[in-house]
Amino acid sequence: MAAAQRAVYGRDSTWYFLHMNWETGPQRPWVARQDDLGRVVSVPATVPDLWWNTIGDAHADPAQIARRLYAYTLAAMDAGGIPAALTHWQSLFSNGLGTGLQALDEYARLLAEDGQFRWQRCSELAAAVAG
């Protein structure tokens, strides 16, 4: 990954999502590799993909999903982790219903109202982790 980022984009640092660790205690991103090819930071998802549930459920409640996401986010913070949510477009699209997008909007509203969170690009997070 590091070599590809350097060859294509001229970057010496990159990140990836692979691990989904909301059940194993506090999780923070870590440097997975650092050598002459570059640096790779692993960003684990610490908030489960509850949006996935909207794909097969035409009656899914976006507000309830957002509240559950928010609770997982608070739990990750309380445990000393960094909240990182991960989902896929098909979950947000919800088979054309857009329920996942509605849940994402409500989740973002809850985080904004809380006041202790800020959205951050993965590249920014990776740079902070790598120091």
Give the pLDDT band of residue 45 (cuts 50, 70, 90).
confident
Letter string b/e over residues 63-100, b meaning 16 or more CB atoms within 10 A of that residue's CB: eebbebbbebbbebbeeebbbbbbbeeebbbbeebebb
- How many CA atoms within 13 Å lie on the side-chain side of 57? 14
> Count of domains in the chain?
1
Mean pLDDT of 17-42: 81
* Residue found under tokens 């980022």: 5
pTM, 2 dp: 0.81
- Residue in the structure block whose two tokens are 């969170």: 117
Which residues share a beta bridge with 33? 40
Mean pLDDT of 82-93: 89
**Higher pLDDT, residue 67 or 25:** 67
Domain of 40, in residue numbers: 2-130
